[in-house]
Amino acid sequence: MRAVILTAGEGTRMRPLTLTRPKTMLPVGGKPLLEYNIRALRDAGIKDITLIVGYQKEAVMDHFLDGHNLGVNINYVTQEERLGTAHAIGQVADLALETNDAIIVTNGDIILGNQLIKSLIDKYNKSQAQSILVLTEVDDPSSFGVVELEGDCIKDVVEKPAPGEAPSNLINAGIYLFDPSIFQAIAQTDKSERGEYEITDSLKIQIKEGKKVLGLVSQDKWIDVGRPWEFLELNEHYLEASHEQIEGEIEEGVTIHGPVVLKKGSIIRSGTYIMGPVYIGENCDIGPNTFLRKHTSIGNDVNVGNAVEIKNSIIMDGTNVNHLSYVGDSIIGANCNIAAGTNIANLRFDDGGVKVTVKGKRVDSGRRKMGVIFADGVKTGINSSFNPGVTIGLNSSVGSGAIIYRDIPDNKIVIHHQKQEIKDKK
């Protein structure tokens, strides 16, 4: 059986983090999100995997190559135009019809467990259904594709129903198993109101034709990974499942509570205090006297200086967090420089929910504690401060002593005089 992973999209709600990589290549717990799903499929016995790529596809292909290092066989199909899920799945029609076997299809930006995949295959073998959807229960289904079930047969899929009009609290989790007849339904699928070919519309065609379309209700944790704070939640999930692995050097005088992953070439210097789970990548220099708190994930080639405190944050490759700085509940991109004395606030003074800009709109993250989102290449000046929920764009710089209380676009310089002045970079 072959698996197909949909990873062609950009993830616009994750900008500016996705300006330099697809959403599925953002790191959580030391690996790109997509890698966890490939490993889960492998551990469930699926070795042949097709990745549907598009936006920034080189980042995906250069990382995974042919899959040999992960013990799988990976091939790539490019979706030149992103025209919806049915269109993406239709790209593998010729490949799937060659073997006339069922395929597992999953979105690349979800949590995927190997036991769930085994249960999906087992249900298919016993039922001989044409299609099976993995379903999960949520409190508010109004933002999702909601399923109407009769027994385990799916009778309808309602996209984003109005509050109070959902047929159930069971939603499409973005994991499917299809037999080859799905491609006939895809060929008959028209564009939706969003201007896309939706796989749920293809499934409705199968249901109307009397084909057996079943639901498999999953009890596994499910996260709709679309916005920056959900990546922090995902990072917490994967770090909680991590096991201690020490490949680097730990000097005397370091205190560690809980599991720590320390990759080769890295050093933790004396006086550092770590509350795991924490991940530290290759060739990092941590400390001395640094405080790393739970659910901190540090990429490769990162320097964290003296008397720095980092809490529940993702620090990407090549970034420096210099002495006397605080980073809380934040996502810091690659190759950033966090100057000495930088303070990133993660709690509103009125204790309210922190709002973050998503696709141009301020959205309540639902989090009481939420710091900042820095794109790649951001530089801060000494003693600069950042209010909760602020986003700093690609390659932008913030001058010393500045207090940032609103988003800064890409390629800008913030100069601190008696009032802030924002200029284009030259």
> Is residue 174 a contact partner of residue 180, using CB atoms and an 8 Å limit?
no
> Is residue 320 a contact partner of residue 303, using CB atoms and an 8 Å limit?
yes
What H or E segment, with its residue span, contains residue 320?
strand 320-321
- Annotated catalytic residue, options 63, 237, 323, 416: 323
What H or E segment, with its residue span, contains residue 154?
strand 153-159
243 is a catalytic site residue: no
- Residue 359 has a CB neighbour count (10 Å cut-off) of 10
Query: Residue 156 phi/psi, 5° resolution?
Result: -165, 155
Question: Looking up tokens 């042919």, which residue turns up?
Answer: 66
Per DSSP, the three-state class of 262 is: strand
Please give the Cα distance from 383 to 327 (Å, whole number).
13
- What residue type is assigned to position 16 of the chain? P
Token readout for 353 is 């929910």
Please, which contacts does 279-284 make with residues 24 or more away whose CB atoms are closer than 8 Å? 279/29, 279/30, 279/239, 279/242, 280/248, 281/30, 281/317, 284/248
Please name the residue ranges forming H helices in 27-140: 33-43, 57-64, 85-90, 93-99, 114-127
Give Cβ neighbours of residue 400 (< 8 Å, ≥ 6 apart).
Answer: 339, 381, 382, 383, 384, 416
Query: In this structure, what is the dihedral angle of CA atoms 348, 351, 352, 358, given to the nearest 10 degrees?
Result: 30
Q: Regarding beta strands 260-262 and 245-246, do their DSSP bridges make them parallel or antiparallel, or are they unpaired? A: parallel
What H or E segment, with its residue span, contains residue 204?
helix 199-208
Residue among 420, 410, 312, 298 at smallest CA distance from 368 = 312
Please give the Cα distance from 76 to 66 (Å, whole number).
9
**Burial (CB count within 10 angstroms: exposed 0-12, middle 13-18, buried 19+), residue 167:** middle
Q: Which residue numbers are catalytic? A: 323
